[in-house]
Amino acid sequence: MPFQNEFFKSAFSVDNIIFGFDSENLKVLLIKRAYDPFMGEWALPGDLVRPDEDLDEAAFRVLDELTGVKDVYLDQVHTFGGVNRHPKGRVITVAYYSLINIKNVSIRAASFADQVAWKEIRSIDKLAFDHYEIMQTCLKRLRRDVKFRPIGFELLPPKFTLTELQRLYESVLEQDMDKRNFRKKILSMNVLKHLEEQQQNVAHRPAMLYSFDSEKYASAKENGFIFEL
């Protein structure tokens, strides 16, 4: 039937929302577009899916081509299919998100990315296409996940202080936490290693260092433990 041809005129794209933490603020990785549409505006690292690749493969390729970031875990979050979301035609996009420690990756702009940069979440009020909506959707997912899964530790260095850990959760959740209650809660979970080490070369009194004990967490999870902040 001729009308069925209309169903094959849509394109697919992938958009990557890469969250990072710099010890103070939650940030997201953005590109400044070198070409139209939305030339000169900041956007998420995304592009069309090639006819010969699947969605996950496209997400990794696009992220590498535009920003130089590779070998990260990407979690598929949501599909956005607004009819007029792309000015050149019907494009349905699948959003992926990831958490990384900013210090562990190097970034570089390439392809149609004129610039690539980490931007503080709170400083962003608009993006190209519907990317601001996509970012906010993934941010809600992140805030839900950090409360019930220990994924926040991926944003920290291997050794961290309890103050740094608290600052991370406050930054992600955008809420202040009582210091005593936070420490009591996180230590009661028994998923941290006390390293018997202190900070080095700091102007203030050095704090004790900890690390996340993934083996202890996995064992506790098998016995019904639920991570919840």
In this prediction, residue 1 has a pLDDT band, given cuts at 50, 70 and 90, of low
Percent helix, strand and coil across the chain, each to the nearest 5: 35, 25, 40
Q: Where in the chain is the domain with CATH 3.90.79.10?
A: 2-148
Q: Where in the chain is the domain with CATH 1.10.10.10?
A: 150-222
* CATH architecture for residues 150-222: Orthogonal Bundle (1.10)
pLDDT tens digit sequence for 107-148? 999 999 999 999 999 999 999 999 999 999 999 999 999 999
What residues contact 39, with CB distance under 8 A and at least 6 apart?
Answer: 33
CATH number for region 2-148 = 3.90.79.10
Q: Where are the alpha helices (DSSP H) in the chain?
A: 55-67, 131-148, 162-173, 179-188, 214-222
Whether residue 128 contacts residue 43, with contact meaning beta carbons closer than 8 Å, is answered with yes
State pTM to two decimals: 0.90
Output the DSSP codes for 183-208: HHHHHHTT-EEEEEEE--S-SSPPPE
- Backbone dihedral region for residue 32 (phi beyond 0: left; psi -120 to 50: alpha; all else: beta): beta
Side-chain-facing half-sphere of 69: CA atoms under 13 Å: 33
pLDDT tens digit sequence for 137-169? 999 999 999 999 898 888 898 999 999 999 999
